[in-house]
Chain A
Amino acid sequence: AQKITQTQPGMFVQEKEAVTLDCTYDTSDPSYGLFWYKQPSSGEMIFLIYQGSYDQQNATEGRYSLNFQKARKSANLVISASQLGDSAMYFCAMREAPTGRRALTFGSGTRLQVQP
């Protein structure tokens, strides 16, 4: 069974508009962490934002915010005021143990294209 599901293989957004990238997850572990990474064409993985399962508030990092709905097991990424440089692949990932010993499980990714 898929642990991380990203249902949008590709998304288009106009420059300066906001966009939401969907992510749902599946785990029976009460303690887990959710991540979003950006991967430009160069291949590097750029950390964007993190949400812990016990965090009461949605995480925010500059133009990035995470819409965390625990009961629905969703962790959508919201990018506000899109920029041309935001065009890239975006991956949602989960870590199921708080100690970090276990690696990240990634979703299939969403390719975002920002149009001028």
Chain B
Amino acid sequence: GAVVSQHPSWVICKSGTSVKIECRSLDFQATTMFWYRQFPKQSLMLMATSNEGSKATYEQGVEKDKFLINHASLTLSTLTVTSAHPEDSSFYICSARVPLAGANEQFFGPGTRLTVL
């Protein structure tokens, strides 16, 4: 089956620093990846849609200058949280779309837990 990895699985950083999270499709090419954020005991909220070779599409209320998304290859999308603050502490999950995979076209990574001190 399609496997999506995320790195790191958890990260702790100081306020004001930047953190990069990688999302990789290991055994398939993904033209579209999605980034979600999940606060404790809440649901997954879509942040942005990442398309290979083009700019990401951000959801309303998500600051594109703060959450930089790069999808430079068909197997890698990165999310960089710039000038992180404690309120950015959350669980970040990516998913990758597998074209023609059938009903379940999206495969999720294991998530990255970010804690900003």
Contact = CB atoms under 8 A, between A and B. Distances in A.
Interface stretch (A13-21, A74-82, A99-107): A99-107
Interface in A14-69: 33, 35, 42-45, 47, 50, 52
Contact of A107 (B43, B97, B103, B110): B43
A103 B34 contact: yes
A83 interface: no
B103 A44 contact: no
A100 B44 contact: no
User: For the side of the interface on A, what is the size category?
Assistant: 20 to 34
A101 B54 CA distance: 14
A99 to B, nearest CB: 9
B78 interface: no
B32 interface: yes
A42 B105 CA distance: 22
A91 B45 CA distance: 12
A51 to B, nearest CB: 8
A106 B108 contact: no
B111 A108 contact: no
Nearest to B33: A103
A103 B46 contact: yes
A104 B95 CA distance: 10
Contacts of A109: 42-43
Contact of A44 (B44, B49, B105, B108): B108
B106 A104 contact: yes
Given A43-B93, A43-B111, A45-B93, A100 B46 contact: no
Greatest chain B CB density within 10 A among A91, A100, A104 is at: A100
9 contacts: A42-B110, A43-B93, A43-B113, A47-B108, A50-B104, A91-B44, A101-B49, A103-B95, A106-B43
Interface of B: 32, 34, 36, 38, 42-46, 49, 91, 93, 95, 97, 99, 103-106, 108, 110-111, 113
Interface of A: 33, 35, 42-45, 47, 50, 52, 91, 100-109
